Structure formats: C-alpha cells, structure tokens
Chains A and B, each alone.
Chain A
Amino acid sequence: MSSDPAPSFLLRAARVHEVFGAGATAFATILAARMDGAVLWVCESWQADALHPPGLAAMMDPARLLLANTNTQTDTLAVAEEALKDGAVPLVVIVITRALDLREGRRLQLAARAGNTTGLCIIPEGMGSNAAETRWHAAPVLDVNRSDSTLMRWEIIKNKSGTTGAWHVRWDSETRHLHMVPPTGDRSGFAGASG
C-alpha cells in the first residue's frame, strides 16, 4: 500500500476537469480538502440540499465552503467563469445538469487559465465536454475488510495530456490523508497489514 498518492491524482492546476459517478461528490470533496483557502461550490438551487455538512466535516472543514445557488445552468456557468477568472478561490466545483457544448467548455478552460484556478465539473454520466482536461469516473466499492472504509475506484477515462488508468483509494478521516489501495483481487497477501 502506498500512502503517498500517485502524482496523477493531483489534477493539473489552472484547468477544468470532469468527474461523474456515484462517488463524484466525494471526489470533489477530497480534492477540496487537499487545497487550502475557500472553495466555491456552484450548483442550481434545487440541488442545494444535496450536501450534508456534518458528513463533509470528515474530509474538509465546511466553513471553507461557499455555496452559490443559481437558477439556471447559464447562471451557473457565468458564476463559475467569474470565479475561475478571479482567482480568489483555488477550486471551483461546478454541478452541471446538461451537457456543455464546446464553446462553453472552452470558455471555462480559458477562465481557469486566466485566474490560475482549478475547476471541477460534476457531470451526469455521458455528458462530458470535449474541452475537459481529464474526465474521471468515481464509484464507491465494497471493502470486505474494513467496516469504516471509504474505498472508491477512481478511473481516468479521458486525459488530454497523459495516460488513462484506474486506482483504488481510501480516505482516512483521522489523518486526513488519501491512501492508495491495490484492487481487491490482489489483496489477499496483506489483508492483515492494511489499516
């Protein structure tokens, strides 16, 4: 087991990335926990109750989170572009409800580059934009060994400047650290050693 995450987990800064799947929120939260400063979470207002801050507290301090609740996706994108361009927050999480066209995706990329800010779009499955730097599929996985586990499978399915791959990761809420775990099949050897 490697306690130091692979370098490819550090999303390239000043770019917009995409994530989908059941573990997308956890992916975004873990990413936010690894940065310092405020994090802007842009979503439409009907989704506003989706996040539960006491659960968030296991990964990051909810006080660092700013929510922007918009009425339409157009507003969501405008707010995200503004925040990305401004650079006052290191990470902007954008919850997308319909597919972005190339122009919208490209504008977000340019804004992220101008403000040196990382953007992360949480997208519904199959609604990725061609402009995204990377696209991730995050899904929770059953951990047969640990009852308090947050084992997840993160798979990079699109990468503009690198290779694709899949990793099993687990968040340790006590040390606030991301652990890399070998996939279930290869783990018979050190089931006792993990933990």
Chain B
Amino acid sequence: MHPVDGPFALTLRQDNSERLYCLNSHAEQAGLHCGMSLADARAFCTDIVCHPARPDLDARFLVALRRWAMRWCPWVGYDGTDGLVLDISGSAHLWGGEGALLANIRARLGTAGLEVRLGLGCTRGAAWARAHYGTQAEQPLDTLPVAALRLDDATCTALQRLGLRTIRELSDTARAPLARRFGPALMMRLDQALGHMPEPVTPALDPPHYGVRLTLPDPIGLVSDVMAATGRLLDALCAKLHAQGTGARALVLTLRRVDQGSQQVELRLAAAMRDAARILPLFERGVATIEAGFGIDQLRLEATLTEPLAAQQSGLGAASKAPDRLADLVTRIGTRIGLENVRRFLPADSHIPERSFLIAPAAHSAPATGWRSGQPRPLHLFAPESIAATGPTPPARFRWRRMHLHTARAIGPERIAPEWWFDDPNWRTGMRDYWCIHTRQGRRLWLFHTPQTPGWYVQGEFA
C-alpha cells in the first residue's frame, strides 16, 4: 500500500455495514468522522481511498511498539487498543527533563512515520485527557471538556445538559448531588484525573523468552566442537526452563557460518523435557548433517514450543525411569521418520470394525485401555475384497487372492448395520452379515455378505 495524499480511511465491518474505522487528516477536513458508514462517507467525499482495517495486525504492532517504548522508561503498559501509557517517574531526568523527553518521543516516532498524540500529566487520567483532548501536551487540565475524564457518552451528554462543560466547572460543583445523580464512577474519574485517587500503570509482562546464543571469537567446524557449544547453550536454556517451570517440546538450533549463511537443526521431543544431559545426545544426528563450510561463529538455540512441566521428585526407584527411556527412544526415532509417524492405537466407541480404533501420534497421546472384548475380531483388517459367490449362505468354495479355498466351517452370521448418522461411502451397500470362515487350507477369514445389494467380500483374517 502506498501512502496517499488525499482523503484516506480504513473501514471495518460493524453491525452489518462498512463503517470508517480510522481516517487521516485530509478526510477529517472533508467532514468525515469515525463510525460513519462508508456509503455516507462516499457521498460527502467522492475521492476517498479506502482499505479494510486489520485490528489483529494493529494489536501486533502495538505489542512491538510497547517493547520499543521501553527505551524511555521501564514501566510501559497498554491503554485501550490504540495507546500506550508510560510511567516516567524517575526516568525523565535521564532525557533532560519532561519537555525534552516528549520532544524525543515525538521526534523518534516521527522518524518512524508515526503520527502520535502525546499527553503528559501528574496522573494517568490527566495524561489521558491531554493526549485525547488537549491541543498541546501540557495544557491546563481545567480547560478541557468533561469528555476528557474517560466518561461514557450518556454521562457526557447529561453533564452538558446541566451546563457543566469543562473539568473546572465540574470540580467547582458540589460533589454530593453529582454522585447521587451519576453514581460513583464520575467522581472516581474526576479524582483520578486530579490525583486524589491513585491509579497505577500496570506494565505488560513480556512472555518469557526461551532463546540463548553464543558468539565465538574463532570459527569452529568439528562436530565435537559444535556439540560442546550446543551443550553450553543447553545448560543456559534448561536453567531458564527450570526457573519458569516449563519444558521444551521443540527446539531450533541455528548455526551461523562465517560467510553469513545459516543452517538450522530442528528437534521435536516426544515429551516435555528440560534435562540438558538427555537433550544433548538427541542433537547428534541433526548436527552431523550440518555443512560447516569455512566455520561456524555464532550459535543460537531457541525453544520454539514449551509446555508446563512440574518439578518431579527424583530417586523414587527405577520405575520412573522407564517412561523416560521410552520417550527418549520415540524422540530419537522421530528425528529420523518424523515424530507424528510414531503412533499408537486408541480405542474408539463404534461397532463398525473400521472405526473401532484410532491411530494417534504417540508423542501427543497417552496409552488408553477399554478395548471391548465381545465378538471375536480378526487380527488383520483390510479393504473389502470381492469374491464370486451368491446367496445368503457362505460359499462352499471360493477363490481369494489367487488361492482356491474350501470352507470347512462357517460361524455366523453377525449382523452389523451402518451408522446412519455418518454417510460412509464404504457402507453404502447397506448392512453386512459377517461370517468367520475356517478353510480346509488353514486360513481363517472374515467374510461378509451384503443382503441389500447381494455380494460377498473378504475383509479380514483371524490369527
């Protein structure tokens, strides 16, 4: 999107109509305002340029701006969806006073291409009022309109009907009738703005960052050296994970070469882990495939996926070691064939043979019990294979997979009806009568007959 010189607005779909979400000064001069419907805005200003708003991206930008704003003071919080509030107590003198600080903020954000409204005050309320309604950053609070007290629209209108237009007029009025008429919220906002009531700034907490890096004075190239460096990084990372009570599920090791190229080793773990001695050997396979070129001089290790991992009491017998060993093995196999390809069976609640079990990645599921033991079920199950036979009784002899088989014993039928609430194309042929056929050749097969659309199929083989 290129910057535009003329009227420009961002639109957002609200209450079933496109409305202006944000607009530039040209558009404001043309008489448009936020919340106006786009059709009206087009009527007022025919050459307006519009673009859909993305509040999610705005929020992400605000997060980045908040981190950057910590350059001026360490105590930065959010103010609504479009503002930041900085508690500059004790840090203004580092910038040469409050005025110089404001000038610095304005200059730096201006360089970044941002148009901002700044307000400075002894209280959070006063700063908000000046930022939103003041014409200059240190305008006296008394002269500002009552809307600058962060009141809702209904209260503002009611106050104006009473003739109370500015904050001075409001503070000069007797408090008791106002509190009776408008409730405690109005007096609280006034007190907060004037400093009679405290209102702290809550700094947003940075999410813990699980990344460590190591820069080397001389490039390294041997696998053993890289593993030793990785070991150091792992120690630092695991200490961090331990302090936060989390464990890593996925790790990325980035190796930067002297010639600026970088390579990554990804490691996904079968269970959350923060034991450096156990994680390090798992990197061996990935590190061995790295092309070191002229040498590696920077390593960066990041835990890209973490999970809460409670501290565990150690030394309670060897029993607690076995799941760990198995999880390590699954991880090691997973580095070769992909962690999602190590799977386990889970029981499912269905009488349809194909849907009586699930296959889930072992790393993301726990072993489950509850296998139903009713009718005997085959050891192998495959897609139904048609055989030539007619009639509702099992054939005395049939041909299956190029074998001539003779029925010696037929056990059945067991009727299984399709689940009508699922439209399964494999079950379009209707209900099935399953038979266990013992053949004279030895094989024990699972056949079914579909009475609604006559046909015989082989679907499984017993042990």
Chain A residues close to B by CB (< 8 Å)? 22-23, 25-26, 29, 37-38, 40, 45, 48-59, 61-71, 75, 78-79, 82-83, 86, 88-89, 139-144, 147-148, 150, 152-153, 171
Contact = CB atoms under 8 A, between A and B. Distances in A.
9 contacts: A22-B443, A52-B379, A52-B380, A52-B460, A54-B377, A63-B345, A69-B342, A86-B329, A88-B326
Contacts of B376: 55, 58, 148
A38 B380 CA distance: 20
Contact of A68 (B341, B382, B438): B341
Interface string B368-399: 11011100111111100000000000000000
A49 B382 contact: yes
B345 A150 contact: no
Given A52-B379, A88-B329, A150-B463, A69 B411 contact: no
Contacts of B341: 45, 68-70
Contacts, number: 152
B377 A140 contact: no
A150 B462 CA distance: 8
B353 interface: yes
Contacts of A69: 337, 341-343
Interface of B: 322, 325-326, 328-330, 332-333, 336-337, 341-345, 347, 353, 356-357, 359, 362, 367-369, 371-373, 376-382, 408-409, 411, 438-444, 460-463
Nearest to B366: A63
Q: What 6 A-B pairs are tightest by C-beta distance, nearest first?
A: A26-B463, A52-B381, A63-B367, A57-B371, A53-B345, A54-B377
B380 A89 contact: no
B362 A53 contact: no
Nearest to A174: B373
Contacts of A53: 345, 347, 356-357, 371
A165 B329 CA distance: 36
A193 to B, nearest CB: 21
Contacts of B332: 82, 86
Contacts of A140: 442-444, 462-463
A65 B365 CA distance: 13
A67 B373 contact: no
B313 to A, nearest CB: 22
B374 to A, nearest CB: 9
Contacts of A49: 381-382
A20 to B, nearest CB: 15
Nearest to B372: A54
Contacts of A65: 344-345
B328 A88 contact: yes
Given A142-B408, A150-B463, A67 B343 contact: yes
Nearest to A86: B329
B325 A63 contact: no
